[in-house]
Amino acid sequence: MLTYLDGRWETMNDRANSEMVQGTLDMLILRTLITGPAHGHTIAHVIEHTSENVLEVEQGSLYPALHRLEHRGWVSSYWGVSENNRRAKFYKLTALGKKQLTAETDRWRTVVAAIGRILGESQ
């Protein structure tokens, strides 16, 4: 399991090997919000479940990331009522955020394809 800690994904026993994935939390959050507004707890939950628990979002990183995205104008936020009937802060993808998601996804695919070629995987 990889845990998102201090800006990068880390495994329990190998802390240096995951810097490649640095900055991907932003991309994953934006991707999660494509399906509609969600609050922080849902976002973490969706990322963990969709990755079949390979990626665990360290919640100490999630909220700073959400606020960073909001300050950059990639998401907007509002207070609403959650599915549990509790007050929660919902985040919504902005047009700028959608553009950013496309750009980051493209960049990610390029990098992954390049690494795949180096590792000798068939295309």
- Among positions 1, 49, 50, 63, the unique one binding another protein when judged by CB under 8 A: 63
- Which position among 31, 37, 58, 108 is part of the footprint of another protein (CB under 8 A)? 58
The region of 11-19, 59-67, 100-108, 111-119 touching another protein under the rule CB under 8 A is 59-67
CB of 80 to another protein, least distance (A): 10
List the one residue from 64, 103, 109, 117 that touches another protein (CB under 8 A): 64
Does position 39 interact with another protein (CB under 8 A)? The reply is yes
Give, in order, the Cα–Cα distances in Å from 107 to each of 23, 54, 56, 84, 101.
Answer: 12, 22, 22, 37, 10
Close Cβ partners of 25 (under 8 Å, ≥ 6 residues apart):
4, 57, 61, 62, 65
Q: Give the whole-angstrom CA distance, residue 93 versus residue 74.
A: 6
Q: How far is the CB of 105 from another protein (least distance, A)?
A: 23
